Amino acid sequence: MCNKCKHASYDVQQKLDVIERIRNSETRIKVSRELGVPESTLRGWIKDKNKLRTFLDELNEGGLTLELPEPTKKLVIPSHFKLLLKSLHTSPPASFVF
């Protein structure tokens, strides 16, 4: 597998659309080849169909919220890093705390 290769990502609605195509008599192998997605991945989407649908329904109804942590104002780094920066003849950014 190529580490530099970019893989397509599919949101929940797109996955459900793909599942619907397969349900409407398109073969998994055909859809797999068209999308460049392994057939095993499609099987996983089909297996998780109910979870995907529930997630999308809750998201659309506003039942799900995404809470992100507050951004850290200062980055605490080990004190030995200060010595490394000194040896490189550079000073740490102001946001660094030793």
Phi and psi torsions of 43, nearest 5°: -60, -40
pLDDT in tens, 4-43: 666 778 888 999 999 999 999 999 999 999 999 999 999 9
Helical axes 49-60 vs 39-47, angle rounded to 10°? 60
Distance CA 83, CA 96 (A): 14
Distance of CA 90 to the CA centre of its chain: 35
The pLDDT of residue 44: 95
Closest by alpha carbon to 36, among 8, 11, 1?
Answer: 8
Residue, of 56 and 81, whose pLDDT is higher? 56
pLDDT at 61: 76
